[in-house]
Chains A and B, each alone.
Chain A
């Protein structure tokens, strides 16, 4: 049976004044896809997902998404948190549901149960009354993931979610994403520099250099003569970063 397209981009072009950040990009996102969007710094990865999320305007092309397809978002970790921000874990996770509701904003019994289930799944139930700024990087990332998941999104978009995590936490995080993808049917779009860690989990790679240069499986990407050096360069960079931390 053919997979259903949840999101379709056709000829998408995004410009900052005269600079073209994303040029004529077209692709479809299908149900249960686990996509890694990769590319060098400045290749337009973050611009592309911010445009999909409606945070940036685009100059040309179309983005088609059914109204009943919901999207969850996990922003870049470094941008997310002020260490002194007074917000408890349950306030932050609850935000994921309450921000989308109309007045009066209250959680139903079912929604409260949903929050509990997500907290349990991500193993952060014991942290609910803690201040988010007091948690470790990995715990904060799971809290923000919980916030994105409580509304049961069909598509989860993540912007470099593992950039602040060490190797073992990165693996744990990708295991959680795999579980969401396989067991809960969540479609995942991931912007990452960490293609080496992500390679075992994803079913599609989109390589961006303003234009979409490659759309295929991880194995096909590794075999691509022109693009595969990208993996080598980045795996070396990851190894160096790992040695330094």
Chain B
């Protein structure tokens, strides 16, 4: 069977379409919040929260309840907690994230161990598996992505001002505390909706890679968001196809593809692009 026939055959399966919808939804929503986090030097919050999501999923699986919904509530709460820890306990963002992530990962691992070790379900949550994406996941991903995109679009100017310079935003009358809390909630939501396709350990890459790829080209902030979203959608589509053909975990395949694209763009900018 040729590669093209194999790909066409793949899209005769419902799971492939479901993966595509979830992938595109999470690619766009994570590209919408990525620039704010990367430029506020808070990009590792996605990584930290994915560890928290792992603990949430472990709890969900243990009690046999919807793991993603359970995880979303915990992740959003912890995301706001990390922010408050950063503001009030005089901890730098990276230290607050590191502490929380380590405790959550330890908790999740102990829970999995007590429940009888890592089973297949937990592994698919760690690295992403397109086979496990259900119809409900598609609805949830699309709904929450639309919410994330709508919130970022409506608060765009305030978020941009705060990211560029927090003091100037405060002087202009922007409530930066409230805005940071909204951003923390959006990150929590985005991390959880991306878990099915990307896995808890790799979802943060979808927040960081598209932004830094876009930053190699763009001069403006709006352009960075648009380029990040478009490139991330293409990478997700090709990554999912690659994952199907090569029988690799979807999250890992997408991250590797992101890595190659970034390297290609970086090399082009450094070596080939006329100055």
Contacts and interface: CB of A to CB of B under 8 A. Distances in A.
A joins B in a complex? yes
- Chain A binding surface SS class: loop
- Chain B binding surface SS class: helix
A157 to B, nearest CB: 9
B103 interface: no
A100 B173 contact: yes
A95 B171 CA distance: 12
B160 A54 contact: no
Nearest to B225: A86
Interface string A37-54: 000000000000010011
A3 interface: no
Interface in A61-112: 71, 73, 75, 79-80, 82, 84-88, 91-92, 95, 98-101, 103, 105
A42 B218 CA distance: 40
Contact of B157 (A55, A84, A105): A105
B173 to A, nearest CB: 6
Q: How large is the interface on B (under 10, 10 to 19, 20 to 34, 35 or more residues)?
A: 20 to 34
B154 interface: yes
B274 interface: no
Interface string B129-154: 00000000000000000000000001
B262 to A, nearest CB: 14
Contacts of B39: 82, 85-86
A131 interface: yes
A99 B165 CA distance: 11
A86 B275 CA distance: 18
Contacts of B220: 86-88, 91, 131
B219 A131 contact: yes
A88 B219 CA distance: 6
Interface residues of A, number: 29
Given A86-B218, A105-B157, A99 B174 contact: yes
A173 to B, nearest CB: 19
A182 interface: no
B167 A75 contact: yes
A103 B218 contact: no
B221 interface: yes
A86 B215 contact: yes
B170 A54 contact: yes
B268 to A, nearest CB: 17
Interface string B215-250: 100111111100000000000000000000000000
A80 B172 CA distance: 16
Nearest to A105: B157
B224 A95 contact: no
B31 to A, nearest CB: 13
A54 B157 contact: no
B221 A80 contact: no
A72 to B, nearest CB: 9
Interface of A: 50, 53-55, 71, 73, 75, 79-80, 82, 84-88, 91-92, 95, 98-101, 103, 105, 129-131, 134, 147
Given A73-B167, A91-B160, A147-B168, 6 more contacts: A53-B170, A75-B167, A86-B214, A95-B164, A100-B172, A131-B219
Which 9 pairs show the lowest CB-CB distances between chains A and B? A99-B172, A131-B219, A88-B220, A99-B161, A98-B157, A86-B224, A105-B157, A73-B171, A87-B221
20 contacts: A50-B167, A53-B167, A54-B171, A73-B167, A73-B171, A84-B215, A86-B39, A86-B220, A86-B224, A88-B221, A91-B220, A92-B164, A95-B157, A99-B161, A99-B168, A99-B172, A99-B173, A100-B173, A130-B219, A131-B220
